[in-house]
Amino acid sequence: MIRVETGTSDAEKTRARQRIDEALQKLKEGADFAAIAKEYSNDPTASAGGEIKEWLYDNDLLDQVLKKNIFKLQPEKISGVFEYEGGYYVVKLRQNEDNKQKTFEEVKAQLKEVLLDEKHYVKEAELENELLEKSQLVIYNSSLRKMLKEATIN
């Protein structure tokens, strides 16, 4: 994706619109999307050529503006300019996959990773609680007030 921040003033918004229109025109003339994203985009993805690594899903969580402008595209096609949350956007759909039930074999590695992460977080929480109980830490209000006062002075 290519994102150009609109700014806060009318002049900034006008400059942003000119910038995104210029980027779109270069894309229509056959310029490489990644190169244009690196040159024009204000988004953190610009350094990676505007590539969003995660899949976007057409569900109730996704904003209607994004649904309207992304999911109507065919693979390798470029959207027109649209405005969304403080920026002008142009997106290119790399790949589209139909909603279908995946087999266990297709998601086995992903499930393993999710379960290991969950197990890690549970164990981490257990160890934190154990350390807190064993430390028998006592915080006195007067000590806490003194520390806060010193922190605000510095």
Looking at residue 90, its pLDDT comes to: 92
DSSP-derived pairing of the beta strands 87-90 and 2-5: antiparallel
The model's pLDDT over 73-125, given as tens digits with 9 standing for 90+, comes to: 888 899 999 998 889 999 998 877 666 778 899 889 989 998 999 999 999 99
The model's pLDDT over 47-83, given as tens digits with 9 standing for 90+, comes to: 999 888 777 666 655 677 877 878 788 888 999 999 9
Looking at residue 54, its pLDDT comes to: 76
Name residues whose C-beta falls within 8 Å of residue 70's C-beta, 6 or more positions apart in sequence: 56, 79, 91, 93
Looking at residue 62, its pLDDT comes to: 65
User: Does 10 score more than 80 pLDDT?
Assistant: yes
Looking at residue 153, its pLDDT comes to: 73
Looking at residue 135, its pLDDT comes to: 87
Looking at residue 65, its pLDDT comes to: 80
User: Does 132 score more than 90 pLDDT?
Assistant: no
Looking at residue 74, its pLDDT comes to: 85
Distance CA 121, CA 123 (A): 5
How many residues belong to the chain?
154
Q: What is the DSSP track for 27-81?
A: HHTT--HHHHHHHH--SGGGGGTT---SPP--STTS-HHHHHHHTTSPTT-B---
Looking at residue 68, its pLDDT comes to: 80
97: helix, strand or coil: coil
Its pTM stands at 0.59
Average pLDDT over residues 31-39: 94
Of 35, 2, 31, whose CA–CA distance to 19 is shortest? 2
